[in-house]
């Protein structure tokens, strides 16, 4: 089983941070309709988009970990999500379609494993603590990441921060 390169983990983590801090138009009810096996119809459920980001991190080190080939296919989709979520004129259906593509790009076992986790904000917080990060208020866009991890995320996302 291959471990993810730090840039993939950093990118996914960066996406989780970006998505968790978004106050955009993609609500939990929209996320529940994003298609695939993931849904937000359980108590304290994370929105589907965060389930994907946190779930990808949680899969690391398991038999369902995202390999380099799937990561390479997911990267442009996550970039599309980022770009669409920054637009003032994007329809929720466009974002939902990309989240559906993300789930379809992953193997059915990977999506099922994330669905079985029934991820909550507490799970996201626990994962952040395990990784030594802080998603809390006042932590900034990247929480308490080291400068090296921030640089990795910035390069992975392709942003100008």
User: Which DSSP string do the residues of 57-73 spell out, in sequence order?
Assistant: HHHTTSTT---HHHHHH
Domain-embedded: residue 37: yes
Domain-embedded: residue 12: yes
Domain-embedded: residue 1: no
- How many degrees, rounded to 5, is the angle at CA 136 between CA 126 and CA 153? 80
Domain-embedded: residue 126: yes
Coil, strand or helix: which one is 120?
A: strand
**pLDDT recorded at residue 148:** 61
Q: What is the number of domains present in the chain? A: 1
Domain-embedded: residue 133: yes
Domain-embedded: residue 106: yes
Rounded alpha-carbon distances, angstroms, from residue 7 to 2, 25, 114: 14, 28, 21
**pLDDT recorded at residue 85:** 86
Domain-embedded: residue 38: yes
For the entire predicted model, the pTM comes to 0.65
Domain-embedded: residue 74: yes
Could you read off the pLDDT tens digit of each residue along the chain, which spans 161 residues?
444 444 444 555 455 544 544 434 444 334 334 445 788 999 999 998 889 989 998 998 999 999 999 999 999 999 998 889 888 898 989 998 999 999 999 999 999 999 999 999 999 888 888 877 765 544 444 455 566 666 555 555 554 43
- Tokens 């494993």 locate to 113
- Domain housing 12: 6-157
């Amino acid at each position: 089983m291959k471990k993810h390169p730090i840039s993939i983990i950093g990118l996914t983590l960066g996406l989780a941070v970006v998505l968790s801090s978004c106050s955009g138009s993609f609500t939990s009810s929209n996320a529940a309709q994003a298609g695939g096996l993931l849904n937000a119809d359980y108590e304290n459920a994370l929105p589907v988009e965060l389930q994907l980001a946190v779930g990808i991190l949680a899969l690391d080190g398991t038999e369902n970990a995202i390999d380099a080939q799937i990561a390479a296919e997911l990267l442009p989709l996550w970039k599309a999500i980022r770009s669409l979520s920054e637009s003032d004129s994007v329809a929720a259906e466009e974002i939902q379609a990309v989240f559906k593509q993300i789930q379809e790009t992953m193997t059915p076992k990977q999506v099922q494993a994330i669905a079985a986790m029934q991820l909550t904000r507490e799970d996201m917080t626990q994962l952040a603590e395990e990784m030594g990060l802080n998603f809390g208020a006042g932590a900034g866009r990247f929480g308490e990441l080291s400068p090296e991890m921030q640089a990795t995320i910035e390069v992975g996302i392709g942003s100008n921060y």
